[in-house]
Amino acid sequence: MVESVYPRLEPLLPQVTKPVQYVGGELNSVVKDWESADVRWALMYPDAYEVGLPNQGLQILYEVLNGRDGVLAERTYSVWPDLEKLMRSHGIPQFTVDSHRPVAAFDVMGVSFATELGYTNLLTALDLAGIPLAAADRADSHPLVLAGGHAAFNPEPIAEFLDGAVLGDGEQAVLTITDLVREWKAAGRPGGRDGLLLRLAADGGVYVPRFYDVTYLADGRIGSVRPNRPGVPGSVAKHTLMDLDDWAYPRQPLVPVAETIHERYSVEIFRGCTRGCRFCQAGMITRPVRERSKATIAGMVETGLQASGFSEVGLLSLSSSDHSEIHEIARELADRHEDTQTGLSLPSTRVDSFNVTLADELTRGGRRSGLTFAPEGGSDRIRKVINKMVTEEDLIRTVTTAYASGWRQVKLYFMCGLPTETDEDVLAIAPLARRVIKAGREATGRRDIRATVSIGGFVPKPHTPFQWAAQCDAATVDARLHALGAALRSEPGYGRAIGFRYHQGEPSIIEGLLSRGDRRVAAIIRAAWADGARFDGWSEYFSFERWARASQTALAAEPVDLDWYTTRERDYEEVLPWDHLDAGLDRDWLWQDWQDSVAADGTAEVDDCRWTPCYECGVCPAMGTEIQTGPMGPPGSRQLPLVAVGSGAGRAARELA
Amino acid sequence: MTRLSVTGRPVLESVQHLQVRYAKRGRMRFASHRDIARAVERGVRKAALPIAYSAGFTPHPKISYAGAAATGMASEAEYLELAFTSPCEPEDVRARLDAALPDGIDVIEVAERGHEPPLAHLEASQWQLTLPGVPPAAAQEAIGEFLAASQVEVERLTKKGIRRMDARAAVISMELDRRAIAAQPDGYGILRMVVRHTTPAVRPDDILVALNRVTGLTLSAPPLVTRLAQGPLDETAATVTPGPGSPEAAAGRERET
């Protein structure tokens, strides 16, 4: 019998901030009888409820698992330090919000990592749950701790704490894992914990770090990563869901009572992206492109709104206006929901002048407050380096159209510290922003035109062409951001029209450490956590000094240090910590793309294989598939991403402005 | 004449105003007023009720709220009002809205408002407070001392700064709830009181501060505070008449006299 901790938790709740986040009971949440299931999952998002609840990945898996007989899934989120302290003093374990059961009572604890900055929160949850931090110390009775999400494509820094990692799409993978766990339990747990993990590694497509030995060279680089027993693949491939129309989730979206960062019904209109932006890990690891059909999307929106009462619909993907039928989708949804006070938004949408029309369609009759464009780099030269093929003229044309059709504010997103970047590339943002304002004033004849420049440090990520790149040091990033701020303020007549938001360089360095680290980084994470690291994605909790201190202590006996992991360029020969994990991308293609990006005689452009012939990234042959798009041709070539302002207001609190 | 919004679309007029009594129970006592308001807006949409919207660039559903019980306090008698563009059967609205809200935000009764102003006559509330760690006899003594005081000033930090108020003056009646005490195993005191709505509002926690100030009464754990009834105040009988057509089941009717 697994009892609810709620009677013990309830008296503590009046003492903590926003207690409603811990009580569950959301519309469409599911509470199953404990005894009705033989496989039980605790699904965790390792951040605060307000960030974790809207997460699509977790909601989809929750619904997929609970949709099966004999399977039960509940959710758990990171508790804020005020409650953590009270839980420790009252002996209350990490609990699920659905029925407040202790996480340690479940068979599997599945943790979704959208970002590496959630690693310390994993340790807090394990510790509060009473689950040993190191996977090697766990008994058969402890839950399997599995990681998923984009950060799981290099789980090596947290390998010590994980029983396994699942790369790629989770919908089918969790069901395969469920079947293997069920069979193992029914058979009397043959081989104990290792016996189960061996089955998962052999038949479940699960990466089990302990079945691989890592050796190091004298200089600190990795010598080799090899399986240490038979029956384990030398390379672990990602999971790819091929027909998204067969998996039209979420159908019963969770409706939080507490306020969260996204209050809307979200439908993923396609998965994958082939734009080829060299910095973008999501675009690389989620290939190939798989679209949902117009009919499925319309049906999901209809039932999702009915089931939730939400008044906003988000059409999600990495580049939403790239859907081959986006204009029909937008028009039909706008028609269908006209006069119902339903808002439609396209976060992460590339927009050229043509696609501002799309944004206009989505905001029919409503207020046009702001559009967000992401040129990412300040100069034409640096945008070529990152393969963001947008010229300054494209951008000016696009914002002119946007201002002319009633949008009053644009946000411009940039990165600082890109490969080959100079001070001039960053300072070029200032005259660009002024041209944007000027274009808006000319197009509208008004003075109340606003633009906001938002910029943060670039972090090289695994499985991208920039995985070999040296990360720019924090001092250089900060100096460039400081100079840019001064340049933006210097021009009379523009100063007040241009807002400036930036993220300092130091947090990016730690994100870089956790992104491209190897198994030795686990000791740093453990030391930082023991020293109090929590909620590292939140500026009010993050401490660079703490991480620097932890790096020094943990790496004292190693030939490597924090700089070695971050600001050091890697060469072709070096074994990267994630080379045995297969995102489907051809390593030589990535290397050639990296070389092309920094070529002295000018950067080579990579086209989008949606509209032009294949550029051999390797994904389609590896997956035995090809890109799946609808009936239409390209909507125009050079486009910019766009996000409607207003989504994710809660995120603002996290920005290190 | 058809009213047009700034976007040029016709605005549908409100033709019916419904007063809704709802409860905040169990886990949902931790919902804040804003949490409840978001849930109700979604519930109205989910239930496909013909809610009226304000005109303007960002139209809002026409839902108004009476002063809400604070976060952490339960209630059997919260009130809001809905404006509809077509008339509906109140009991049907009650059932549909209740089904569209999370468990614990429960719609108890819906009644059409007549010609009186919206959410009028909510002059006072009846509250029940558990007093963990305080035996009934000690609670009884504290009540006596408090009621004997002519004035008990307390202060609270509000958005407008520190406000001072007379907690004693707001309390119309205060007594031990013997029946509730008998029904719970721990045997601690349970208080019932009728408190007049004032500006700034004297809240149950202000009264606990006042009790502590006058009598030294101290709780061993946070109290469970429940609003039992809200409505017009009968000062001579020291009772609150529960709101529009309250059902017999309402906890407010059970109070001892």
Nearest CA in chain B to A265: B42
- B184 interface with A at CB cutoff 8 Å: no
Average pLDDT, chain A: 91
Tell me whether residues B53 and A341 touch, CB distance under 8 A.
Answer: yes
Q: What is the model's pLDDT at position A389? A: 82
Q: What is the model's pLDDT at position A349? A: 57
- B57 interface with A at CB cutoff 8 Å: yes
Does pLDDT of A650 surpass 70?
Answer: no
Which region, left, alpha or beta, applies to residue A165 given φ > 0 means left and ψ of -120 to 50 means alpha? beta
Cβ neighbours of B7 in A, within 8 Å: 365-366
E-strand ranges in A80-219 read 108-112, 144-148, 164-165, 212-216
Q: B232 vs chain A: nearest CA distance in angstroms?
A: 30
Please tell me which of A29-38, A592-601, B5-14, B111-120 the model is most confident about, judged by mean pLDDT: A29-38
More confident site: B7 or A27 = A27
Report pLDDT digits (tens) over A396-448: 988 898 888 888 888 899 999 999 999 999 999 999 999 999 999 999 999 88
Does pLDDT of A634 surpass 50?
Answer: no
Express as a percent the part of chain A with pLDDT over 70.
Answer: 92
> How many Cβ contacts (< 8 angstroms) between chains A and B?
81
Mutation site, A83, A97, A255, interface B, largest B CB count within 10 A = A255
Reply yes or no: is the peptide bond before residue A635 cis, omega within 30 of 0: no
CB atoms within 10 A of CB A233: 14
> What residues of A are in the B interface, CB distance below 8 Å?
6, 11, 13-15, 18-20, 22-27, 255, 257-259, 263, 305-311, 339, 341, 365-367
Nearest CA in chain A to B222: A11
Nearest CA in chain B to A367: B57
Complex ipTM value: 0.89
B171, B195 contact by CB (below 8 A): yes
Nearest CA in chain B to A259: B35
Q: What is the model's pLDDT at position A370? A: 74
Q: What is the model's pLDDT at position A339? A: 79
- B35 interface with A at CB cutoff 8 Å: yes
Q: What is the model's pLDDT at position B247? A: 39
Mean pLDDT throughout B241-247? 50
| Whole-angstrom distance, CA of residue A27 vs CA of residue A25 | 7
Q: What is the model's pLDDT at position A615? A: 66
Task: Give the dihedral sign, CA A474/A479/A484/A486.
Answer: positive
Report pLDDT digits (tens) over A291-320: 999 999 999 999 999 999 999 999 899 888
Nearest CA in chain B to A98: B27
Q: What is the model's pLDDT at position A653? A: 31
Lowest mean pLDDT among A190-204, A512-526, B83-97, B239-253: B239-253
Tell me whether residues B102 and A27 touch, CB distance under 8 A.
Answer: yes
Q: What is the model's pLDDT at position B7? A: 54
Does pLDDT of B246 surpass 60?
Answer: no
- B10 interface with A at CB cutoff 8 Å: no
Nearest CA in chain A to B46: A309
Q: What is the model's pLDDT at position B4? A: 54
CB atoms within 10 A of CB B179: 12
Cβ neighbours of A17 in B, within 8 Å: none
Lowest mean pLDDT among A498-507, B101-110, B180-189, B208-217: B180-189
Cβ neighbours of A257 in B, within 8 Å: 28, 31, 35, 38-39, 102, 105
Q: What is the model's pLDDT at position A657? A: 28
Does pLDDT of B1 surpass 80?
Answer: no
Tell me whether residues B9 and A365 touch, CB distance under 8 A.
Answer: yes
A120, A526 contact by CB (below 8 A): no
Mapped onto helix, strand or coil, the DSSP state of residue A534 is coil
A16, A23 contact by CB (below 8 A): no
Pairing of β A349-351 and β A581-582: unpaired
Cβ neighbours of A309 in B, within 8 Å: 41-47, 100
Tell me whether residues A14 and B72 touch, CB distance under 8 A.
Answer: yes
Tell me whether residues B34 and A23 touch, CB distance under 8 A.
Answer: no
Lowest mean pLDDT among A341-355, A423-437, A627-641, B115-129: A627-641
Nearest CA in chain A to B97: A309
Lowest mean pLDDT among A99-113, A198-212, A398-412, B13-27: A398-412
- B7 interface with A at CB cutoff 8 Å: yes
Tell me whether residues B102 and A306 touch, CB distance under 8 A.
Answer: no
Q: What is the model's pLDDT at position A641? A: 40
Cβ neighbours of B6 in A, within 8 Å: none
| Whole-angstrom distance, CA of residue A305 vs CA of residue A251 | 9
Q: What is the model's pLDDT at position A471? A: 98
How far are the Cα atoms of A70, A97, A255, B28, B39 from residue A25, in angstroms, in the given order?
A: 22, 8, 9, 8, 12
Does pLDDT of A342 surpass 50?
Answer: yes
- B116 interface with A at CB cutoff 8 Å: no
Q: What is the model's pLDDT at position A362? A: 75
Mean pLDDT throughout B237-256? 48
* Domain limits, chain B: 9-112, 124-244
Tell me whether residues A25 and B43 touch, CB distance under 8 A.
Answer: no
Question: Domains in chain A, please, with CATH?
Answer: 6-233 (3.40.50.280), 244-520+558-654 (3.80.30.20)
Cβ neighbours of B26 in A, within 8 Å: 25
B173, B183 contact by CB (below 8 A): no
pLDDT band at B118 (very low <50, low <70, confident <90, very high): confident
Mapped onto helix, strand or coil, the DSSP state of residue A631 is coil
Q: What is the model's pLDDT at position B2? A: 53
Does pLDDT of A559 surpass 90?
Answer: yes
Partners of residue A165 on adjacent β-strands: A147, A207
Please tell me which of B35-39, B117-121, B242-246 the model is most confident about, judged by mean pLDDT: B35-39
Q: A28 vs chain B: nearest CA distance in angstroms?
A: 9
Comparing CB atoms, the residue among B30, B46, B57 nearest residue A309 is B46
Phi, psi of A620 (to 5 degrees): -60, -50
Report pLDDT digits (tens) over A566-579: 999 999 999 999 99
Report pLDDT digits (tens) over A499-558: 999 999 999 999 999 999 999 999 999 999 999 999 999 999 999 999 999 999 999 999
Mutation site, B5, B45, B225, interface A, largest A CB count within 10 A = B45
**Which residues fall within 8 angstroms of residue A114, CB to CB, at 6 or more apart?**
A55, A57, A149, A150, A151
Largest CA distance in chain A: 77
Tell me whether residues A309 and B45 touch, CB distance under 8 A.
Answer: yes
Structure tokens at A362: 């989505």
Pairing of β A450-457 and β A270-271: unpaired
A132, A142 contact by CB (below 8 A): yes
Does pLDDT of A266 surpass 90?
Answer: yes
A131, A138 contact by CB (below 8 A): yes
Cβ neighbours of B44 in A, within 8 Å: 309
Q: What is the model's pLDDT at position A364? A: 72
CB atoms within 10 A of CB B237: 12
Pairing of β A236-237 and β A222-227: unpaired
More confident site: A334 or A469 = A469
Does pLDDT of B222 surpass 50?
Answer: yes
Q: What is the model's pLDDT at position A648? A: 33
Cβ neighbours of A26 in B, within 8 Å: 102
Architecture of the domain made up of B9-112: 2-Layer Sandwich (3.30)
| Whole-angstrom distance, CA of residue B171 vs CA of residue B195 | 5
Does pLDDT of A378 surpass 60?
Answer: yes
Q: What is the model's pLDDT at position B234? A: 80
Q: What is the model's pLDDT at position A350? A: 61
- B102 interface with A at CB cutoff 8 Å: yes
Nearest CA in chain B to A341: B59
Report pLDDT digits (tens) over A607-616: 777 766 676 7
Does pLDDT of A647 surpass 50?
Answer: no
Cα A289 from chain centroid (whole Å) = 17
Does pLDDT of A203 surpass 70?
Answer: yes
More confident site: A106 or A632 = A106
Nearest CA in chain A to B45: A309
Residue B140's H or E segment, with its range, is helix B136-148
Does pLDDT of A633 surpass 50?
Answer: no
Partners of residue B195 on adjacent β-strands: B125, B171
- B222 interface with A at CB cutoff 8 Å: yes
